[in-house]
């Protein structure tokens, strides 16, 4: 769909966006979202919402509050089928609101997978899972590695199937914050950036378009080869050390959205994944060294 059609459909009956196994029906009158969708989701399957053929997983709407009292501070709010899980935010945050909202749909509603707050990338049929709290440089590292031949499965949500223990891709634009935006822009000038959401609670947030191959292979699942806990630390020398598996299990569980909701299934999945994967702690300050270490990863036994 071209930009004009996206704008028309978004403001009308809405568009359908297929992201991995999830289909979203998105409506909004906000122009910034047209920009987001046409720039970042250009390679995805995007179509008019007809309303009489497909099953849709999530019907979402980014509404503006145009009531009189808010005339000068127009706000935008995320709705899943008329339910608002978050407070309204300034409308210039709309591009971030929709990304967070779409993630929330999956992390709060889907329990057929163990969902970990982690980036996940793949090379040669094996995935690296990188669980990390915000501020650990996970997204900057991911944004770089996917320019270096790694396939993006997800930047935020690692979805591990309960039956096969494989990772189901959910490839999304990678979210960059503050200084990382310049770092990636300088390093990879060809990377395409979406509209910026400035001064959010997380600072300036901007998303980059994922590589074409990651989108094309968004239905190709793969097993986990490595679990790596990254930590960016300015000026630090690179350190890449084996990490105790029992500790790794607890740390991944800690970073999971639905580990406790899954009960014993959550533990079983994680145990199976960690038994087969190599676990590392990784401290870095230089992206070049990080990329080299990832390119030299040895297959787990």
Residues that bind another protein (CB under 8 A): 21, 23, 51-57, 59, 81-83, 109-112, 260-263, 265
- Nearest-approach distance from CB 73 to another protein, in angstroms: 18
Contact 54, 23 (CB under 8 A): yes
User: Nearer Cβ to another protein, position 115 or 273?
Assistant: 115
User: Nearer Cβ to another protein, position 21 or 243?
Assistant: 21
- Nearest-approach distance from CB 63 to another protein, in angstroms: 13
User: Nearer Cβ to another protein, position 106 or 208?
Assistant: 106
Q: Residues near 301 by Cβ (< 8 Å), separated by ≥ 6?
A: none
- Nearest-approach distance from CB 22 to another protein, in angstroms: 8
Q: Residues near 12 by Cβ (< 8 Å), separated by ≥ 6?
A: none
- Nearest-approach distance from CB 170 to another protein, in angstroms: 13
User: Nearer Cβ to another protein, position 20 or 211?
Assistant: 20
Q: Residues near 187 by Cβ (< 8 Å), separated by ≥ 6?
A: 144, 147, 287
User: Nearer Cβ to another protein, position 82 or 296?
Assistant: 82
- Nearest-approach distance from CB 225 to another protein, in angstroms: 26
User: Nearer Cβ to another protein, position 162 or 183?
Assistant: 162
- Nearest-approach distance from CB 70 to another protein, in angstroms: 18
């Amino acid at each position: 769909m071209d930009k004009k059609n996206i704008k028309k459909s978004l403001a009308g009956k809405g568009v359908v966006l297929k992201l991995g196994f999830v289909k979203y029906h998105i409506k909004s009158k906000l122009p910034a979202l047209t920009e987001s969708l046409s720039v970042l989701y250009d390679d995805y399957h995007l179509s008019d919402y007809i309303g009489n053929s497909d099953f849709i997983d999530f019907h979402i709407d980014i509404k503006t509050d145009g009531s009189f009292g808010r005339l000068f501070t127009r706000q935008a709010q995320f709705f899943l089928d008329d339910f608002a899980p978050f407070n309204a935010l300034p409308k210039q945050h709309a591009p971030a609101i929709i990304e967070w909202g779409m993630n929330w749909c999956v992390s709060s509603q889907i329990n057929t997978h163990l969902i970990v707050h982690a980036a996940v990338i793949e090379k040669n049929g094996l995935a690296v899972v990188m669980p990390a709290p915000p501020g650990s440089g996970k997204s900057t590292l991911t944004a770089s590695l996917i320019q270096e031949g790694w396939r993006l499965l997800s930047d935020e949500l690692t979805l591990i199937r309960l039956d096969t223990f494989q990772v189901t891709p959910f490839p999304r634009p990678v979210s960059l914050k503050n200084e990382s935006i310049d770092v990636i822009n300088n390093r990879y000038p060809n990377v395409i950036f979406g509209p910026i959401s400035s001064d959010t609670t997380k600072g300036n947030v901007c998303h980059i378009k994922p590589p074409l191959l990651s989108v094309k292979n968004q239905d190709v699942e793969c097993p986990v080869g490595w679990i790596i806990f990254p930590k960016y630390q300015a000026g630090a020398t690179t350190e890449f050390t084996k990490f105790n598996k029992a500790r790794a299990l607890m740390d991944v569980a800690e970073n999971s959205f639905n580990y406790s909701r899954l009960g014993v299934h959550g533990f079983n999945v994680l145990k199976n994944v960690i038994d087969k994967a190599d676990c590392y702690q990784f401290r870095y300050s230089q992206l070049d060294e990080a990329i080299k270490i990832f390119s030299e990863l040895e297959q787990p036994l």
